[in-house]
Structure 1
Amino acid sequence: MIPSAAMEQARQAKAAGDLRGAAALYARAAVERPDSTVAEHNLASTLGDLGDFAGAAAASARAIAKGSTAPETWLVHARALQGTGALDAAEAAFLRAIGRRPDYATAHRDLAQLRWMRTADVGAALAAIDSARVPALASVEAVVLLSAGEPARAAAVLDRAIARAPDAALHLLAANARAALGDAAGQLVQATAALRLAPASTDTAKAVVEALLHVGRIAEGAGLAERIAQAAPDDQGVIALLATAWRLLGDPRYTGLCEDPALISTRGIEVPPGWSSLDAFLADLAASLRERHAWRTHPLDQSLRHGSQTQEDLSQVDHPVLRALFAALDAPIRAHLAQLGTGGDPVRRRNTGGYRFAGAWSVLLRPGGYHTDHVHPRGWLSSAFHVDLPETVAQRPQGWLAFGRPGVPTTPALPPTRHVRPVPGQLILFPSYLWHGTEPFSGDAPRLTVAFDLLPG
């Protein structure tokens, strides 16, 4: 069937990042072609991207009612149901997707993550995964185990899978497992094997750099990182590894790349229209965000520990308090861009004076919670906006942001270079390549934040 004009226009709008325009066009296509399961599927997928989970669930249900048996449609339906909070129904829909394609790794991962976040139980998360029978699921099983803090079990799963069918992605996960176990030599073996299988991959090359920094072969790691950066100059993970190597070598280029005071800014927001005070706005924002934190534990393969993270892109959610937040963030973001100015470094050379959001989420950390040190490889600028904080942040460094401590093991180990105390209503902006995390905190109150990544606009 020749695609309708509305379908083609919708595809182009979505590719250009105009999700609302794409959704309207897919809805029109579904009316023009009432028997089209594809139009309903595409509408559901786009509404899900917009955070309209009820609309996505309805559209995907219509696609199924019209005869779609595609596992992809069941996956979209399951994700939409999860977004509405219908978690039992979401589990059932994920299982329907898997029933139609038993090796559907994406559906298995989403189901495992849902069960893990609901229960914090590794056994429950892995209940539908049998990597011994379906080898394609070994990577999903390993990600669950690594996220649950069981690298030894993950390494064993990966060793068996690699013995059956060597694969670069499996070797990359195996390198991560060896790093978590403190086995620097084993990490280098696995990373090197991944690079041999995928020599053109930036990810495999970065894994070798990480392993070289762990075994103490710093100059080699720096040389390889410089070559990767030439090929992928905007990859924030590569910049972070190169900066780490320079710091270990005492190279003065590290100072310019990571210790320029203008790179990190802390600014408050103005009270949004419709609220009498900042405290009143933050209270409403906190209430809205807490409704989205129904999970017992963190998602898979993320930096937070002992807390939860929202699953939708908050910058796309049509909710009054969230719209007010992102409108209020515009002024401090533009002030930061003006503070940076232009130049030849990895941040300033991309500064056009404009920006666009590349994902936004909320994190709720419970007492004892923290973020492991990490970077955002596909970002440009990253952030932390503090909504509600425990009283213990008054005690340095409980719950404070830490900058500069690598999120990969190095020889020797490196401490943070800077701590920043969080303040409610305050936005902190920094380059996405800066290692950052948060320190654990005590007490009995949680730590609630919003974070987002920016790309040049």
Structure 2
Amino acid sequence: MTSQLTPHAAAVAQTAAALMNQRRFSEARRLLAPLARDCAGQADLHFLLGAACAGASEPAAAESALSDALAIDPEHQRAAVDLARLLSAQGRHAELLDRTARAAAVDRPHEALLGERARALAAIGQGDEAVAVRRRAAALNPGKGHLLHNLAATQGDVGLNIDAESSARAALRLSDKPETWLVLARALQGQNRFDEAETAFSEATARRPMYFAALHDHAQLVWMRTGDLDEATTVLNRMALNGVEGRPARLIKAQLMQAAGDAEGAYASLADDIRSDDIAALVMGAQLALAIDPGAALQHALRATALAPQDRAAERILINANLALGRASEALEALAEPLRRAPFDQGFIAAQWTAWRLLDDPRAAALYDYQNVVSAGMIDAPPGWISLSAYLQDLRTALLRLHGLTAHPLGQSLRHGAQTSANLLRSDDPTIRAFPAAIDAAVRRHLSFIGSGDDILRSRNTGEYRIQSMWSVRLAPHGFHTNHVHPEGWLSSACYIETPDDEEAGEHDGWLKFGEPGPTSPSLAAQRHIRPEPGLLVLFPSYMWHGTSPFRRGARMSIAFDLVPA
């Protein structure tokens, strides 16, 4: 590193490096700052200075020094890695990709740099590109199991379940890790190979008995397959028999109880955990208490936010607890900072609307301008089908093959129904693969319908779109969706493939409803209803509260997806 430096400069740099090894970063920075000024063309010195500033918790100075290093040598690997980590921590993913592009373009970039770039690509919704970067890292470093694991995990995240299975099995041949068994289990579940998925979940927890994510997903899969609370909790009971039951298992059991309709029992089961300083227990306790005891929910939420001031789940439940108590002004006060940090978080926007509506603020009507931001129209028959009815019939048959589950996922809005495990965007079935073409004209009409502007919705309208995720839901008799929003979307949807045919249905039975939020005081009724019918696509802002009313007979199958600007 110091071969081109004067003997004095080299000695100072070595002293600084030794100080950094002792975590005496501020002292190292004081030595390196004047040296970097005097040796302006030395990329290594600027890198060292950047590392010292980062260690001394001076991110702005670290960014400046690392940028100087890359200005001198755009291919400097360690400077690029450290700058990428710094920008990633600040959520500046697009900048990260731009400013480390030259370093990543060399024949053999540092594997850590490729990892940071893959995470950044995933964060901005470029999942396929993230997979390509992970694949490159694994190819450049054969025999490294963790890189194959990372590839498998990223493939699974974007719905490439067959590829994820292959990569996970290759990783396991090199390194038998519980995390990789979990990735494999999820990939198998995404292929509807549920027995094999359960075995893989068990392999993960055999290696780490209190592996929360694997326990959660295993118990959830058993619940979704059976709809039986006792069967699902058997997964957790095995942990207790082995003497390793703990708070994570109790939290999962409470989620299962809530899914089975026993929110009061779930809340009571967490009494001891809620008295602790565990953020997850406090947040879940507050969530369960919203409709049971909003005052208790507020107290749990206040404790959670005091312990973790910027925890988004804690912030969200504090806002919701205030709304449940009718404390709209306090909810707006609690919303100010989270909305500043995450202005496009659709859940925060929905909470703001709820507070405005409670206060009779005219901004509520302007934001939920149903006539101008919600559309309902028929999709087209895609190429290869002579009519829309023929396409819908084939689509229903194709989707039924994927609906191998009985009950709803934990924490989701549907009740008395099930959801597909696979990301439909990755389906090999030609009928399902034709669905994006079937909806394209309707989506483009909607983008033209809402138009452009400077509000939170229209300011993001580029006229182009990308489907972020797509899934199917099938509701049984008495099925419905609880009121919810889609926090990560921009536009959301419901496209009906099959709808109940019940001549005795009551008013609005099975209809889509808008504008009825979660618990509030006073309660707020829905403001608009749309009657579903096969082939109808409804598009609306992701920040808009929506749910459905139960129906009594028949079944309802739909495809839902979220859109983001392209």
State the TM-score, normalized to the length of structure 1.
0.91
Higher RCO, Cα 8 Å, sep 6+: 1
CA contact (8 A) 2:118 2:134 kept: no
CA deviation string 1:278-305 (max 9, x = no partner) = 1111111111111111111111110000
Aligned to 1:148: 260
Counterpart of 1:58 (choices 159, 163, 166) is: 166
Question: Does residue 69 of structure 1 match 2:176?
Answer: yes
Q: Distance in 1 between matches of 2:318 and 2:129?
A: 43
Report the CA distance between 1:223 and its aligned residue: 3.5
Equivalent residue in structure 2 for 1:342, among 452, 470, 473: 452
Please report how far the alpha carbon of residue 82 of structure 1 lies from its aligned counterpart in structure 2 after TM superposition.
1.8
Unaligned runs of 5+ in 2: 1-77, 79-106
Larger Rg: 2
Output aligned runs, 1:369-388, within 5 Å.
Answer: 369-388=479-498
- Is contact 1:49-1:312 (8 Å) kept? no
* Whole-angstrom distance in 2 between the partners of 1:14 and 1:282: 38
Corresponding position of 1:295: 405
SS in 2 for 1:291: helix
Moved more, 140-149 or 112-121: 140-149
The reply to whether residue 255 of structure 1 matches residue 365 of structure 2 is: yes
Change (3 A) 1:342 1:123: same
The whole-number CA distance in structure 2 between the counterparts of 1:409 and 1:448 is: 27
- The counterpart of 2:217, out of the listed 101, 110, 119, is 110
Aligned positions of 1:1-20 closer than 5 A: 12=117, 15-16=120-121, 17-20=125-128
2:281 counterpart of 1:170:
yes
1: distance between equivalents of 2:376 and 2:193? 38
SS of the equivalent of 1:170 reads: helix
Once the two structures are TM-superposed, the CA of residue 193 in structure 1 deviates from its matched residue by 1.2
1:96 equivalent to 2:203? Answer: yes
CA gap of 1:29–1:233, structure 2 versus 1, over 3 A, is closer
The alpha carbon displacement at 1:347 in A equals 0.6
Distance in 2 (alpha carbons) for counterparts of 1:119 and 1:260: 39
Q: Deviations over 1:77-129 (max 9, x none)?
A: 11122223322221111011111112211111100110100111112212232
The code of the aligned residue for 1:434 comes to: M
1:400 and 2:508 equivalent? Answer: no
What is the rounded CA distance, in whole Å, between the counterparts of 1:24 and 1:345 in structure 2? 36
Cα 1:273–1:140, aligned 2, differ >3 Å: closer, same or farther?
A: same
Alignment of 1:268-283 (within 5 A): 268-283=378-393
Pairing 1:331–2:448 present = no
Give the match's secondary structure for 1:180: coil
Return the alpha-carbon distance in structure 2 between the equivalents of residues 300 and 190 of structure 1.
21
Name 1:44's counterpart in structure 2.
152
Specify the alignment match of 2:421 in structure 1: 311
Return 5+ residue gaps in structure 1 as ranges: none
Secondary structure, counterpart of 1:356 in structure 2: strand
Deviates more, 1:75-84 or 1:125-134: 125-134
**Deviation larger for 104-113 or 318-327:** 318-327
For 1:379 and 1:209, locate their aligned partners in 2 and report how far apart those are by CA, in whole Å: 20
The residue number in structure 1 matching 2:194 is 87
Q: How big is each residue's C-alpha offset from its partner over 1:324-368, in whole Å with a ceiling of 9 and x where there is no partner?
A: 111222221121111111222211122222222221111000111
Distance 1:80 1:201, change over 3 A: closer
Compared CA separation, residues 27 and 206, structure 1 to 2 (3 A): closer
Q: CA deviation at 1:25?
A: 6.2
**1:9 touches 1:22 (CA, 8 Å); kept in 2?**
no
The superposition leaves residues 235-291 of structure 1 with CA deviations (integer Å, 9 ceiling, x where unpaired) of 111111111121122111111011341110112222111111111111111111111
Closer, same or farther in 2 for the Cα pair 1:222/1:55, shift >3 Å?
Answer: closer
Aligned with residue 78 of structure 1, among 179, 185, 203: 185
**Structure 1 31/378 Cα, relative in aligned 2: closer, same or farther at 3 Å?**
closer
Structure 1: distance between partners of 2:171 and 2:412: 32
- Counterpart of 2:372 in 1: which secondary structure? helix
Question: Does 1:139 pair with 2:251?
Answer: yes
Distance apart, 1:28 and its partner CA: 6.5
1:352 aligns with 2:459: no
Distance in 1, matches of 2:146 and 2:401, equals: 32
1:379-434, Cα deviation, whole Å (9 max, x unpaired): 1111101111111387531211010111x211111111010011211211101111
What is the aligned length?
451
C-alpha separation in 1, matches of 2:345 and 2:126 = 24
Deviations 1:18-52 (A, max 9, x none): 44455566556666665343343334334433434
* Matched position secondary structure for 2:522: coil
Q: How many percent of aligned residue pairs carry the same amino acid?
A: 43
- Contact 2:192/2:402 (8 A) holds in 1: no
Does the Cα contact within 8 Å between 2:274 and 2:285 map onto a contact in 1? no
| Greater displacement, 48-57 / 365-374 | 48-57
* 2:513 and 2:528 in contact (8 A); partners too: yes
Q: When you count helix as a share of all residues, which structure comes out higher?
A: 2
8 Å CA contact 2:160–2:426 kept in 1: the answer is no
User: Match for 2:162: what amino acid?
Assistant: A
How far apart are the structure 2 equivalents of 1:197 and 1:11? 29
Structure 2 residue 305 is matched with structure 1 residue 198: no
Q: CA RMSD in A?
A: 2.5
Note closer, same or farther for the CA distance 1:184–1:31 as it changes in structure 2 (3 Å cut): closer
Cα distance in 1 between the residues matched to 2:135 and 2:329: 56
